[in-house]
Amino acid sequence: MSFMAVDPSTGHEFAELPETRPEDVPALVEDARRALAVEQDWRTPIVRAGALLRLAREVEDAAENLADFETRDTGKPLKQAQADVRATVRYLEYYAGSIERIEGRSIPLGPAALDYTVREPWGVCGQIIPWNYPLQVAVRCAAPALAAGNAVILKPSELASITPLRLADLAERAGVPRGMFQVATGDGTVGAAVVDSVDHVTFVGSADTGAKVAAACARRLTPLELELGGKSPNVVFADADLDKAVPAIVQSLLQNAGQSCSAGSRLLVERALYGELLDRVQGAFDKVKLGPGIEDPDLGPLISSRQLDRALTMIERARAQGATVRGGEHHGGLFLRPGLVTDVTADMEIFQEEVFGPVLAAAPFDGEREAVELANATAYGLVAGVWTRDLARAHRVASAVRAGQVFVNGYGVGGGVELPFGGMGRSGYGRGKGVEALLAYSQVKNVWVSLEG
């Protein structure tokens, strides 16, 4: 069985990919279990570290090809796909160097006994990832799981599967044992089969689907990591450095055409600065160049007609609720001009729910207390940005804002490979990236040994 990859920039099919059937998944899991049982060397941390480092070099050698495929498969600008490849290398290097940080500890009980803990892998990890960052999120999930000694069954979106498949090929070339890292392509029925078959699940995607995955895991008592949606705010106080803030605010929305769970899709501005900041953001939006990803524009297409229809519908509903919309026009094909939605109140859908497109909802606030109230006025809590020269206020607001990751005078800087990432509330639970991911992909065993003769 096979299916076709489609370039959202053009609508053209450009590659035929193998398709996994749901009934094939148990055999993949059995292959993974066999690999864990047979590959005794894989239990040695230095062996896993070496394989991940070799995979990093394979990705570097294939960087141009991987970026080209990532752009054609998702529509994102080429420079963003190239950045994703660089981040992929960084993840592999980071976790190769972190493997030996998975340490236990001793617990003093006196001379009659020795007690210590070790961290052990879960076994076979199922990882279901979205279409917006297929290569980067694939390795963000797989690298710490492999580093911790697990086997991985990765299920990418059917809308973007090429680079995860290519990553699996490169992993085998790098010496990752056969069966230890496998990719199961196909639709949601394949993902459901993975969830029903593995020892640990990671899901990255929408909150609604995440709830269904959580219910399925609960039935089997399968441990679960959820990284879901966001409606993340940039909170801008009147003393902010706008020359620094405006480019970051614009980029935090336009990255990957706003199709990112961590997109800065709400703009909360102290009233004294509100008009000036909106004018500067709109001026930046007006200069945005749209085009096919391979031409390296500022903004590529949305991934599908379904996603475009959702964005346009939410814009129209915001207008009907009394908001003012600047931009946000359909630009042909799957392209959407950046939209700035003002006169927004906290009860509007456009304020509460992610569009997953280049649409920014803006609202003013008066004072620090209202800023925090508005920042926390959605069910999501993934990322937040705080912009102020007053560092005491920055710390107060960062403490009060409900978000798993808060940036002060910046937003999403540097890819954050080392920075723990995850949400609160409807944005999910558990943490990826950083050392926290290694801990998430391992479990604690306690060993007590009698020392009495």
Residues in Cβ contact with 306 at an 8 Å cutoff, skipping those fewer than 6 apart: none
As a dihedral over the C-alpha atoms of residue 103, residue 59, residue 135, residue 147, rounded to 10 degrees, the angle is -10
| Residue 323 main-chain phi, psi, to 5 deg | -80, 160
Residue 120: active-site member:
no
Q: Which residue of the set 58, 217, 261, 353 is catalytic?
A: 261
Residues in Cβ contact with 144 at an 8 Å cutoff, skipping those fewer than 6 apart: 95, 98, 432, 437, 438, 440, 441
- Tell me whether strands 266-270 and 233-236 are parallel, antiparallel or unpaired: parallel
CA distance 20 to 49: 30
CA distance 168 to 400: 42
Residue 13: active-site member:
no
CA distance 289 to 270: 29
Q: Which residue of the set 70, 93, 225, 227 is catalytic?
A: 227
Dig out the tokens for 381 from the structure. Answer: 């809590």
For 15, which DSSP code?
A: E
CA distance 428 to 380: 8
Read out DSSP for 222-276? --EEEE----PEEEE-TT--HHHHHHHHHHHHHGGGG-STT---EEEEEHHHHHH
Active site residues: 227, 261
